[in-house]
A = this chain, B = another copy of it.
Amino acid sequence: MIRYPNGKTFQPNKTVSSQNSQKRTHSYSNRGMTLEDDLNETNKYYLANQIAVIHKKPTPVQIVNVHYPKRSAAVIKEAYFKQSSTTDYNGIYKGRYIDFEAKETKNKTAFPLQNFHDHQIEHMKQVVRQDGICFVIISAFGKVYFLEADKLFVFWERKENNGRKSIRKDELEDASFPISLGYSPRIDYISIIEQLYFSQEQ
């Protein structure tokens, strides 16, 4: 069975529940939501509160065949998933360009680098060269981590030089910042950006 790049099979018309008003626990284990759902809710919160404008890019699709029925909407009858040449999320916070990718793993001991492909790493390097704020959000080991692109590149180079093909749990803990999880916003990654790039103490 062919799957999405994130390993999930396709589920049509998934609706994000906004009914749940209970305080959420601070663990990512055994929850019904995906990282993507939570990031979408987080970005909606940032947008509604004029904190930041960050959107997930649409899934790239190669369209091959479209029907144009009379008096109703065009129907795409044949199309294929394409590999993206960029990361999934980008936007703006306080004038600065923000660019990131989000990844999940169920692996208990390490984060596999095969979650990224060459094009994404190359894109992140281009963004860093243009002085963008570039990072990855990793959901692993029941937590959510903010890993700056420069740190990711070090692990990527090790892999390219025939080293480990993953980031060990303790390495990730050392290299990254934990993102606090809450109800609203759910994954407050902007607070990390504020501390790292905008705080007077830096």
Q: Tell whether A75 is near chain B: CB-to-CB under 8 Å.
A: yes
> Is the beta-carbon distance between A74 and B132 smaller than 8 angstroms?
no
CA distance A115 to B127 in the complex (A): 31
Q: Nearest-CB distance from A8 to chain B (Å)?
A: 12
The B-contacting residues of A in range 54-72, CB under 8 angstroms, are 55, 57-66, 68-69, 72
> Is the beta-carbon distance between A92 and B60 smaller than 8 angstroms?
no
For A64, the chain B residues whose CB sits under 8 A away are 12-13
Q: Nearest-CB distance from A191 to chain B (Å)?
A: 17
Contact of A78 among B75, B84, B94 (CB under 8 A): B75
Q: Tell whether A96 is near chain B: CB-to-CB under 8 Å.
A: yes
Q: Tell whether A130 is near chain B: CB-to-CB under 8 Å.
A: yes
**For chain A, which range describes its interface: under 10, 10 to 19, 20 to 34, or 35 or more residues?**
35 or more
A126 nearest CB neighbor, chain B only: B53
CA distance A72 to B72 in the complex (A): 31
Given A57-B58, A97-B97: A132 in contact with B12 (beta carbons within 8 A): no
For A77, the chain B residues whose CB sits under 8 A away are 77-78
A13 nearest CB neighbor, chain B only: B64
> Is the beta-carbon distance between B53 and A131 smaller than 8 angstroms?
no
For A153, the chain B residues whose CB sits under 8 A away are none
Given A68-B1, A76-B79: A123 in contact with B61 (beta carbons within 8 A): no
Q: Tell whether A202 is near chain B: CB-to-CB under 8 Å.
A: no
Q: Nearest-CB distance from A55 to chain B (Å)?
A: 6
> Is the beta-carbon distance between B55 and A58 smaller than 8 angstroms?
no
Q: Nearest-CB distance from A87 to chain B (Å)?
A: 10
